Amino acid sequence: MKLLGKDISASQLLQQISQRLAARGLEAPDEGPIRMDGAEPRVDPLAFNLDALAEHSDPTRALPLETHRGGVTGRAVVLAKWAFRKSCQIFINEALGRQQVFNGHVRDSYAQLSAEVKRLRSRVEELEAPAPAPRPVSPPKSKRPARKG
């Protein structure tokens, strides 16, 4: 079944995708430390996600105050948001305390799972590595003395 039409072959498309991923350094995992040269730096998804979880695990930490309104109305909205945060922060912290604990458990679990994935990847690479060529075995030497006869 061809979903792309008759002018595009799936094998050529996959080859082009593979070439583009290789050009960005995304084709070869665990190649060594992340390099910053080339078109785009290679990102370790496990470390990136763990950093993001750690950065955003505290729901009581406020985001920057913003509004899409401009002028005096926009400044008034930002001032109202600031006043609400200052006056209600203790209630916000109380309401989101359990979420903060949960987020910490999720972050720690993700870290453990990431470490396990890395360990298993290295084990799979070790098992999939080509085995060294076997050395030729010489025939066993006979321990019996030759018969004189």
pTM here? 0.47
3-state secondary structure of 62: coil
With cut-offs at 50, 70 and 90, classify the pLDDT of residue 144. low
Summarize pLDDT for 53-81 with one digit per residue, the tens. Answer: 888 888 888 778 888 888 898 899 999 99
Summarize pLDDT for 102-132 with one digit per residue, the tens. Answer: 888 888 888 888 889 889 999 999 898 887 7
Handedness of CA 84, 80, 53, 32 (dihedral sign): negative
Helix (H), strand (E) at residue 12: helix 10-23
Is 27 part of a structural domain of the chain?
no
Q: Does residue 100 contact residue 59 with C-beta atoms inside 8 Å? A: yes
**pLDDT in the model for residue 124:** 92
The closest alpha carbon to 24, from 14, 38, 35, belongs to 38
Structural domain count of the chain: 1
Which two structure tokens, joined as six digits, stand for 41?
A: 């730096």
- The boundaries of the domain holding residue 53 are 43-127
Is 105 part of a structural domain of the chain?
yes
Average pLDDT over residues 89-112: 88
Handedness of CA 75, 81, 83, 86 (dihedral sign): negative
Is 37 part of a structural domain of the chain?
no
Is 15 part of a structural domain of the chain?
no
Is 28 part of a structural domain of the chain?
no
Is 75 part of a structural domain of the chain?
yes
Rounded Cα distance between 100 and 86, Å, is: 20
In the chain, the percentage of residues whose pLDDT exceeds 70 is: 74
Is 103 part of a structural domain of the chain?
yes
Residues composing the chain: 149
Is 137 part of a structural domain of the chain?
no
> DSSP assignment of 59-89, as one string?
TTSPPPP--S--HHHHHHHHHHHHHHHHHHH
